Amino acid sequence: MFPFHLWPLTAHFYRGRLYLRHLDLADVATELGTPLYLYDATTIEHAIAAYRRGLRAWPGEARLAYAAKAWFTLAMAQFLDRRRLGLEVVSEGELAIAEAAGFPPESIHVHGNNKSPALLRRALELGVGAIVLDNLDELDRLEVLAAAQGLTTSQAIWLRLNPDLVAPTHPYRQTGHYGAKFGLSPDEALTAAGRIARHPDLKLVGVHVHIGSQIFDLEPILAACERLIELATALRQRGHVIRFLSPGGGLGQPYHPDDPRFDLVQAVERVARHCAEVWERQNGRIEPPTLVLEPGRSLIARAGVALYTVGSVRRLADGSRIVAVDGSMADNIRPALYGARYTACLPARPLDAASGPCRIVGPLCESGDVLLPAVALPDVRPGDILAVPVSGAYQLSMASNYNAALAPAVYWLEDDHLLLIQRRQRPADLLQRDLPLPP
């Protein structure tokens, strides 16, 4: 069975070849050059709709804010704004891209465990929707900067809670355990709230928690929601008005045919319903705050397909093959960094019988440059196009120029239009920041 649930919604077969809408994937990759990333807008729309449906289980207002770190460009920022999503950014760079796209600052909230003074200053200047306070040292800086800035209205602040919970995911993606670098303990949160209340240019309006990413078992997320609402309740009882409640992002995304299936609508509904129950239990008929979810991966991972050209095939004595393609750990570090597992196919003959396992490697100068350690493929020849689905999140946003590898071109498929939204990097781009030594 071909795992269509891992491919964009527009994927289908026509005459034995794999298409997205009218695009023959193998042909388009050959024509436009590889490595190439395609994003299917319909698949993103569908994920947004799934979130919005699930959020109906929350009795108050609900908002969706995209976590820019998953993948962010000018076009993506415009797309999100047109669909009235909010945005979560963590750096001056992400904020600058949002600004360039004309993204409304009031729909942006700013995260980060060590926000730079430049980021804080810019966020205050723009009057972003919220700065999410991560620690008390940051509050020291924020108090000074806000006072110095001569703000016309006070800056909205959320508190990020460290709930002391371990998320069931790769350790690099756990963010909510004791000892993690993120968030305030409940005591620190209460201290911060008191200080914010005394500052004329800051106002506390929300609380936030995010325990990690790529989570399929919702129980720890529900537990985090309970601790978050406990904090909101404690703050309310001390006279603070909490208008925003954000249980972060982190919902899981299947990448491999063996991964568990995950129903996004049901998962979002479960989180929203649980929050509603806990809110009511603790706060009775007090009006519920706005619930803000901030997903990254589950909105865009499935929309992205990476396309590579095979350059060489080495056959080993055990019958397996090493297939070298023109993409690498420079455009997808996830297998090397987290042991992330993917699947792949030859889009020109996706249904041909497999003739044994292939290790898909890139051209970089280390043996860790592996995209797929083992995938069953039919006969593969140099010049073939290889397609890797679920490539939309945390690949290009984590890309590097190791070995001076050039970043791939990115195309956007919306309705029947295929648009270039990020051109392929050129060697001249790499030289742009470099300055020569004097003669």
DSSP per residue, 351-379: TSPP-SEEEEE-SSSSTT-EEEEEEE-SS
Scan residues 395-424 and list those touching ligand LLP (CB under 6 A).
398
Among 4-12, 225-233, 244-252, 305-313, the segment contacting ligand LLP (CB under 6 A): 244-252
> Per CB under 6 A, does 173 bind ligand LLP?
yes
Binding mask 77-106 for ligand LLP (x = CB under 6 A): -----------x------------------
**Is 275 an active-site residue?**
no
Q: Which of 63, 69, 240, 302 binds ligand LLP (CB under 6 A)?
A: 69
- Judged by CB under 6 A, how many residues of this single chain contact ligand LLP? 22
Per the residue annotation, which of 225, 345, 358, 365 is the catalytic one? 365
Tokens of 298: 């589950």
> Per CB under 6 A, does 302 bind ligand LLP?
no
Task: Report how far residue 301's alpha carbon sits from residue 297's, in angstroms, rounded to the nearest whole number.
Answer: 5
**Helix, strand, coil: what percent of the chain each, to 5?**
35, 25, 40
Nearer to ligand LLP by Cβ, of 161 and 193: the residue is 161
> Per CB under 6 A, does 330 bind ligand LLP?
no
63 three-class SS = strand
> Per CB under 6 A, does 210 bind ligand LLP?
yes
DSSP H or E run through 13: strand 11-14
Three-class SS of 169-226: CCHHHECCCCCCCCCECHHHHHHHHHHHHHCCCEEEEEEECCCECCECCCHHHHHHHH
DSSP H or E run through 4: none
Among 2-10, 97-105, 295-303, 425-433, the segment contacting ligand LLP (CB under 6 A): 295-303
Nearer to ligand LLP by Cβ, of 251 and 385: the residue is 251
> Per CB under 6 A, does 115 bind ligand LLP?
no
Phi first, then psi, for residue 316 (nearest 5°) are -95, 165
Nearer to ligand LLP by Cβ, of 246 and 422: the residue is 246
Nearest approach, Cβ of residue 427 and ligand LLP (Å): 28
400 three-class SS = coil
Q: Which residues are catalytic?
A: 365
Q: What does the binding site for ligand LLP look like in residue numbers (CB under 6 A)? A: 67, 69-70, 88, 111, 173, 210, 213-214, 248-251, 294-298, 334, 338, 394, 398
